[in-house]
A = this chain, B = another copy of it.
């Protein structure tokens, strides 16, 4: 079933293709009568101009891609949502590339997206959160960035100067820590997150610093690294609670998933949150209001993250001035999972 082309329209309307193109793009004045005639034919055939042909010439596709590690983690759909919202205003459509946290897939997608000549790539998670990203992986991204605007969201690649949009996770972690200190907690632990990812490292560092600034310490045994999942949170929390000699009165978690796992572990042992132990999450994902008790957490302005990333790409593609870095400040959201430190019993 042959697609109708601009030529078919031109022939039937008895004009040249350029005239049809003109009415299609409104790129030059066309006499009202001929415009009408052309429009009639277009509508009759429900003609849809071939965007591929157009993109081939104009060297722009109206397409942006977002590379994410795991769309199933509610943090990413939120960022996507914000990005998509902005993209629509700017006339972009979105490729969503889920890598399942696999480096090779990231590389694959990078290649495909370049071949498809996307107008921009938003990179979030994966290699840009590695404390030590292998140079080959860095280079791949750099090569892509030579021809396509790339913006890194909530991550970075060492010794490079990519466009970045991120929320200052260190500030967020400090905020959460201070919140607990203010509630009278002195025995604070940190759980979750792989120890080779910057998201984890930055937070631990900030927690430690905030504590030390006030003559408190983060005990080594109270830093429990692991995955970012609910299950991991539960497991790590259990490890913490196993040591009945030394029990923290409050636990900071790398994200909301692990925080929820932590709450579950605590409840399963008959501990009440926050009466017996306070738990703080990170991300303010929709989950945080779904659990009981609702999670005290740190919001990352997820929608803005996506929004600014798209805006940046738009600016670059249109030769508008841009700054290379946009930093968003996280905010603490106090809900029900944190409370005053329990009074010591002995």
Contact = CB atoms under 8 A, between A and B. Distances in A.
A97 interface: yes
A289 B230 contact: yes
Contacts of A46: 143
Q: What is the copy number of this chain in the assembly?
A: 2
A134 to B, nearest CB: 18
A98 B84 contact: yes
Contact of A96 (B50, B94, B115): B94
A180 to B, nearest CB: 22
Contact of A292 (B1, B61, B112, B292): B292
A80 B98 contact: yes
Contacts of A112: 51, 62, 93
Interface in A275-300: 286-287, 289-292
A78 interface: yes
B116 A52 contact: yes
Nearest to A51: B115
A56 B52 CA distance: 6
Main SS class of interface, A? helix
Interface residues of A, number: 54
A274 to B, nearest CB: 14
A116 B230 contact: no
A50 B115 contact: yes
Interface of A: 1, 3, 46, 48-53, 55-56, 61-63, 71-72, 74, 76-78, 80-81, 84, 88, 93-98, 105, 109, 111-117, 143, 146-147, 230, 257, 260, 263-264, 267, 286-287, 289-292
20 contacts: A1-B146, A46-B143, A52-B55, A52-B116, A62-B112, A63-B116, A71-B84, A72-B77, A72-B81, A74-B286, A80-B96, A84-B96, A93-B97, A94-B95, A94-B97, A95-B95, A95-B96, A267-B292, A290-B290, A290-B291
